[in-house]
Amino acid sequence: KNQVEQSPQSLIILEGKNCTLQCNYTVSPFSNLRWYKQDTGRGPVSLTIMTFSENTKSNGRYTATLDADTKQSSLHITASQLSDSASYICVVSPNSNYQLIWGAGTKLIIKP
């Protein structure tokens, strides 16, 4: 069964610290993997997208990695800011353009 699992469910860190969020998937075949940021009360916004041949992609202080062999991805946030408080969602797409497998997300809270 196609599944995307994220860990941890929630995470609290101090402002300025780094953190890493995990995503494991069992989706097959595989087309691409995205990370979304969802602020409270808002819709998700795309942060990065990686295909099978890419193993790292950066967007400012956000760096996503992909290991297609182990079917794992991580999102590393450097020098966290209060505005990074949000849910981060991993989404995997099989070959179909219209099918997306969504993870439940990691809720990240940054404390001053």
Partner 1 sequence: NAGVTQTPKFQVLKTGQSMTLQCAQDMNHEYMSWYRQDPGMGLRLIHYSVGAGITDQGEVPNGYNVSRSTTEDFPLRLLSAAPSQTSVYFCASRYRDRGHYEQYFGPGTRLTVT
| Residue 80 makes contact with partner 1 by CB under 8 A | no
Among 105, 106, 108, 110, binds partner 1 (CB under 8 A): 105
The per-type count for the chain, helices as H runs and strands as E runs, is 0, 11
Of 79 and 104, nearer to partner 1 (C-beta) is: 104
Q: CA of 3: how far to CAs of 35, 63, 91, 110, in Å?
A: 15, 23, 10, 28
Which residues are CB-contacts of 9 (< 8 A; sequence separation ≥ 6)?
Answer: 104, 106, 107
Tell me: does residue 41 bind partner 1 (CB under 8 A).
Answer: yes
Closer Cβ to partner 1, 20 or 51, answer by number? 51
Which residues are near partner 1 by CB under 8 A?
A: 4, 32, 41-46, 49, 51, 89, 91, 97-98, 100-105
